[in-house]
Amino acid sequence: MVFSDLFFLFVFLPAFIICYQIGAWLDRRMSDDRNHPLFTVRNGVMVVFSLVFYAWGEPIYVFLMIGAVFINYLSGLWIAAAKGRWRRFALVVGLALNIAMLGVFKYAGFIASNLHIFGIEADIPEIALPIGISFYTFQSISYLIDVYRCAADVQRKYSDLLLYISMFPQLIAGPIVRYDTVARELSNRSVTPADVSDGVFRFLLGLGKKVILANQFGEIADGFLASSNLGDVSVCGAWIGILAFTFQIYFDFSGYSDMAIGIGRCLGFHFNENFDHPYCSRSITEFWRRWHMSLGSFFRDYVYIPLGGNRRHQVINILLVWFLTGMWHGASWNFILWGLYFAVILMVEKKYILPRINMLPRLVFHCYAMLLVVLGWGIFYFTDINEMGRFFHALVGGTGIFWQFADENALRTHFWLWIAAVVFSMPVRSWVSRIPGVVMGHGSSVAATTEMISRTIVSVVVLIVSVALLIGATNNAFLYTRF
Q: Which residues are catalytic?
A: 329
Q: What is the 3-state secondary structure (H, E, C) of the chain?
A: CCCCCHHHHHHHHHHHHHHHHHHHHHHHHHCCCCCCCCCHHHHHHHHHHHHHHHHCCCCCHHHHHHHHHHHHHHHHHHHHHCCCHHHHHHHHHHHHHHHHHHHHHHHHHHHHHCHHHHCCCCCCCCCCCCCCHHHHHHHHHHHHHHHHCCCCCCCCCHHHHHHHHHCHHHCCCCCCCCHHHHCHHHCCCCCCHHHHHHHHHHHHHHHHHHHHHHHHHHHHHHHHHCHHHCCCCCHHHHHHHHHHHHHHHHHHHHHHHHHHHHHHHHCCCCCCCCCCCHHHCCCHHHHHHHCCHHHHHHHHHHHHHHHCCCCCCHHHHHHHHHHHHHHHHCCCHHHHHHHHHHHHHHHHHHHHHHHHCCCCCHHHHHHHHHHHHHHHHHHHHCCCHHHHHHHHHHHCCCCCCCCCHHHHHHHHHCHHHHHHHHHHCCCHHHHHHHHHHHHHCCCCHHHHHHHHHHHHHHHHHHHHHHHHHHCCCCCCCCHHHHC
290 vs 115: CA distance, rounded Å: 37
Query: Which residue in 166, 145, 178 sits closest to 76, CA to CA?
Result: 145
**Residue 393 φ then ψ, to 5°:** -60, -45
Inter-residue contact 467 to 9 (CB < 8 Å): yes
Query: Which residue in 301, 299, 379 sits closest to 335, CA to CA?
Result: 379
Contacts of 55 (CB under 8 A, 6+ apart): 62
Q: What does each C-alpha distance from 84 to 81, 125, 199, 234 come to in angstroms?
A: 10, 40, 44, 64
